Chains A and B, each alone.
Chain A
Amino acid sequence: MTIIRYIRSALRMFGAAVSVVSDLRVNHLPSERELNRLGIKKADFQAIHLN
């Protein structure tokens, strides 16, 4: 069970990373849910100067 949970957590993290990067590529702000999954606070992320 622990292994399955670990794999699920890793896949969820991978999905969130893909989602965040995809949004950034089209100059969209990533969703709060996906950022939270990666342990990032939206306010902190918005403080970065993205061009």
Chain B
Amino acid sequence: MKLAQTKYNFLIQQYKNNIYSYSLYMLHNKADAEDVTQEMLIKIWKNVNCFNILSAKAWIIKSTHNLCVDCLRKRKAFSYKECSIDDYLSESIMDCSSGNDPQNLTHIKMLTSRVKETIQLLPEKLKSVFVLYEIQGLRYKEISKVLDMPINSVKVYLFRARKQLQKELKCYEEHEIV
């Protein structure tokens, strides 16, 4: 059995969804998220012998975050505009056909996609902390390590993100009613 290959396969199976999901939330574009994921997988392969498997999660998320930041910088430089915000929504509605109660499922899926869309609207720092804590399931200490910020800042950002998310959702609802 080849150690590096086993290690790589294990890491990929374990973290591929986390990498892709985080990139998708940060970049809000499937193609860019796929590029970052692919780049990250190559980076893992190149460095597979350089890091301890037990501390791999923090390293992988940190590297993914850095790649996302680079991608966002490039995007700003080229004033890149994209509008794939409805990707989630279209997929969600399409998935609903398989459920038992289509109406209920559609409602749940719509609500979730609305939350997802609203998460996308959060500022970069708030979004990264929020996604890492609420969706990726990282703890304060891990987020502090990944994003190079004090734990108290993580807590403050998380509080602001939750508050802003609520505010945006409320605006969304009000807009819908009108």
Report if A and B associate in a common complex.
Answer: no
Name B's A-contacting residues (CB within 8 A). none
